[in-house]
Amino acid sequence: MRRPEPRLAAVEREAYTRKEIGERDGWECGHCLTPVPREADPRDPRAPQVDHITAVVQGGADTRDNVTISHRYCNADRWGLGRRCTPAQAGERLARAVVVYEARRGAAR
């Protein structure tokens, strides 16, 4: 006999845009506290993304109060590090990712 799938609770949602969140946050990454370029290539580790402060799967809402602008790399890297790293450490990790990205991009040309 199959077990019934657990039902997910309804998530509070609110409409917002990446531009709106970026302007609200002054285009400063919520993790490493360095500038986020508005028009970066989506593959660039510095590309802007909206990150949930408390993940929706952990009960966080999908609202303006629960999101911040971040670099693509900082957003992804956070899942490996949790919130354990300081902004300075996050910035160092982003800088290393940018060096790798630039080297790969240069080699592709």
| 87 neighbors 33 (Cβ within 8 angstroms) | yes
Structure tokens at 29: 């990454």
Q: How does strand 67-71 pair with strand 48-52?
A: antiparallel
| 34 neighbors 74 (Cβ within 8 angstroms) | no
CA-wise closest residue to 45 among 108, 103, 101: 101
pLDDT tens digits along 48-64: 999 998 888 888 999 99
Rounded Cα distance between 33 and 35, Å, is 7
pLDDT tens digits along 13-52: 999 999 999 999 999 999 999 999 999 999 999 999 999 9
Structure tokens at 63: 């609202």
When pLDDT is averaged across residues 83-95 and rounded to a whole number, the result is: 84
Over the chain, what is the mean pLDDT?
88
